[in-house]
Structure 1
Amino acid sequence: MCASYGLDPRFTDAELLAEADEAVLDGLRSWAQQNAGETLRPTGKNLRNVNPLVTAGEGGATLESAWWGYLVDGAPAKFPSINTRSERLQDRPGGLRSRALVPATGWYEMQKPDRVWHEFGLGPGVLFGMAAVTQRGRTPDGEWTTCYSIVMRPSPAHLAGIHDRIPVLIPTAFADDWLTGEPSRELIDAALTAAETLDERVSAAARPDDKGEGMLF
């Protein structure tokens, strides 16, 4: 699963949207600077994180703050919800009714049994989008917000020895399709095919500073 990820404000290569929206990119950079390089982790019972999410607005892509993981009856879901398997969406495409892109410059996974954290990405400073499905949820203080779950797929061969699954990365050319396409088995199949075009660019490096430790789910 995707346990945590990073958003470096120094990103220079924006591979998030086919037609880069400067307002979205400026908003991301400003948010990341305020976040001061902190790792983005799921929101849990004792940890309240709201992170930037790219969604489809009336005038095009828009940026909003969202809760990582689903909320049920005003509390974090008791079932695993920070990630959603692509196979589940293929079997139940109704889960694709609302979608988003999660902007990141890297994500972190632990290699077992060595318990060594690795950072995955498309290269230093490269901004990319991870596929997500969304739904509305009510926070413990009664406010309604967007919640998101990152879509995961089996890892390509060169990464499978580190972790068995990776996020579905959305190339710029497919970003609009992912955000606005009709929810269907065909959409998730096309997203998986598009994601495979980035496989050769994905690399992983060990992180001796243990970026993923201290997470609360």
Structure 2
Amino acid sequence: MCASYGLDPRFSDTDLLAEADAELLDDLRGWARDNDGETLRPTGKNLRNLNPLIVPQDEHAALEKAWWGYLIDGQPSKFPSINTRSERLQDQPAKLRTRAIVPTTGWFEMRKPERVWHEFTLGPDTLFGMAAVTQRGRTPDGDWVTCYSIVMAPAPAHLAEVHERMPVLIPASMSSAWLTAAPDRDLIDEALAASAAMAERISVTPTASRP
């Protein structure tokens, strides 16, 4: 399960968007700087953070602040919703109807039974994207927002030593297709293949504690 990730404003390399808009990247870097290095965690009943999300807008990519996890009838869902299994999307591709990309510089998982936190990155300065599915939801304050759930898949052997599952990674070359293509089984299968290739570049580093 991916329950926290980072967004370091010092990124100098990107594997996020096929056509990386300079203004979008500047806005993303500014948000990360204002976030003061805080780890991004699910939005919930008490934690009302909205996290940056890449969404399709008029056939282009746009940055939007979004709620991590689903809202049902104005309240956080009672069922787990911060992650969605890729297998479920393969069986029910209609759930791919609306999608987004989560920008990150690395995600965190705990290795058990040692209970040691590890960070997964493409390198210390690389910004990359994780696949997400989205839906609209109404906040407890009555505002409508985009809600997102990070898509998870089985991890390859060199990462499964720490955690058996990992986010589906969307390379820049597939970003446009992930945001705008028809929601069918071929799309999730293509994303899983691209993620598997990208996962070979992921490195894992133990951290003293959860950031």
1:39-58, aligned counterparts within 5 Å? Answer: 39-58=39-58
String of CA shifts for 1:67-97, please: whole Å, max 9, x gaps: 0000001110010000000000000111100
String of CA shifts for 1:79-129, please: whole Å, max 9, x gaps: 000000000000011110000000000000011111111000111010000
Of 98-107 and 14-23, more deviation after overlay is shown by 14-23
What amino acid is the match of 1:47?
L
What is residue 12 of structure 2 aligned with on the other side?
12
What is residue 120 of structure 1 aligned with on the other side?
120
What is residue 214 of structure 1 aligned with on the other side?
none
Question: Displaced runs of 4+ in structure 1, greater than 6 A?
Answer: none
Equivalent-residue separation in structure 2 for 1:144 and 1:210 (angstroms) = 31
Equivalent-residue separation in structure 2 for 1:71 and 1:43 (angstroms) = 10
> 1:171 deviation in Å?
0.7
Number of residue pairs matched by the alignment: 211
Alignment RMSD, CA only?
A: 0.7
What is residue 101 of structure 1 aligned with on the other side?
101
What amino acid is the match of 2:171?
P
Of 193-202 and 64-73, more deviation after overlay is shown by 193-202
What amino acid is the match of 1:157?
A
Q: 2:59, 2:180 within 8 Å by CA — same for their partners in 1?
A: no
What amino acid is the match of 2:20?
A
What amino acid is the match of 1:140?
P
Q: 2:6, 2:105 within 8 Å by CA — same for their partners in 1?
A: yes
What is residue 156 of structure 1 aligned with on the other side?
156
What is residue 215 of structure 1 aligned with on the other side?
none
1:174-189, aligned counterparts within 5 Å? Answer: 174-189=174-189
> 1:59 deviation in Å?
4.8
String of CA shifts for 1:122-145, please: whole Å, max 9, x gaps: 110100000000000000000000
Equivalent-residue separation in structure 1 for 2:170 and 2:78 (angstroms) = 29
> 1:2 deviation in Å?
0.4
Percent identical: 67
Equivalent-residue separation in structure 1 for 2:172 and 2:59 (angstroms) = 18
Q: Does 1:142 align with 2:170?
A: no
Equivalent-residue separation in structure 2 for 1:157 and 1:209 (angstroms) = 24
> 1:210 deviation in Å?
2.2
The gaps in structure 1 that reach 5 residues or longer are 212-217
Equivalent-residue separation in structure 2 for 1:140 and 1:208 (angstroms) = 36
1:196-207, aligned counterparts within 5 Å? Answer: 196-207=196-207
What amino acid is the match of 2:146?
T
Q: Partner of 1:32: helix, strand, or coil? A: helix
The gaps in structure 2 that reach 5 residues or longer are none
Q: Partner of 1:158: helix, strand, or coil? A: helix
> 1:199 deviation in Å?
1.8
Q: Does 1:172 align with 2:172?
A: yes
| TM-score under structure 2 length normalisation | 0.98
Equivalent-residue separation in structure 2 for 1:7 and 1:205 (angstroms) = 16
